Amino acid sequence: MISNFHILKNWGCTLLGLVLLYSCNHDDPKMPDPCLPYVSNPGWTEQVFHEGTFIQFPDNYIGGRGGIEGPIFSKYRMDTLVFMWYAFCGALFCDDYGESLENPDTTFVRARTYSFGLDSITLTKRKEICDDLLTLGIYFYKDSIRDIGKLYWYTDHAFKEALTIEYDPSRQDEVEHVLQTIH
């Protein structure tokens, strides 16, 4: 007859073996980059971004949200170093958001560019936009001659396409500061 001591001893050895096996064969995962926290910039102009959502821009940006068939957004720096837009339009009308991100843990997405004339570019860098501990947005981007980015914003229980951005690499910090103002 096997005693409870032997069962616990065998179970404990098995558990210890699994822990050691896991620690020996498993690379430590890379710690994620910290979230870009929400910030308000009192000197910047606030405007409607999507229905019920606002964004702030420095004074050297022009454009905004408009459209007759539905919401369309186009905002750019006067020196054209940054261009942000969305237009999620079908045959008859435009929606406030685009397609849902199927897997919020994905490491890349594809984006169509406005100025490059290419079909799409794979965006492999990622930052999250947070308010406290909640991820409200996921920003994918790619460094290139002219950087490209795509923002997914959490709405209606999903992360949905919210904005595409093209910008000069020298404006990366500015773009992130603008994204951090969305609320």
Whether pLDDT at 165 is above 60: yes
pLDDT of residue 45: 95
In the chain, the percentage of residues whose pLDDT exceeds 70 is: 77
Q: Is the pTM of this model over 0.85?
A: no
Adjacent-strand bridge partners of 137: 129, 153
More confident residue, 180 or 34: 180
Q: Where are the domains of the chain?
A: 36-179
pLDDT of residue 106: 85
The mean-pLDDT minimum among 5-14, 89-98, 107-116 falls in 5-14
In this structure, the number of other CB atoms found within 10 A of the CB of residue 99 comes to: 13
pLDDT of residue 146: 78
pLDDT of residue 117: 55
Q: Model confidence over 137-159: pLDDT tens digits?
A: 999 998 776 788 999 999 999 99
CATH of domain 36-179: 3.40.1000
The DSSP line for the chain is ---HHHHHHHHHHHHHHHHHHHHHH-PPPPPPPPPEE----TTSEEEEEETTEEEEE-TTEEEEEE-SSS-EEEEEETTSSEEEEE-EE-SS-EESS--B-S-TT-S-EEE--SSS--S-EEE-EEEEEEETTEEEEEEEEE-SSSEEEEEEEEETTEEEEEEEEEE-GGGHHHHHHHHTT--
* Rounded average pLDDT over 16-29: 39
Q: Model confidence over 49-81: pLDDT tens digits?
A: 999 999 999 999 999 998 888 899 999 999 999
pLDDT of residue 68: 82
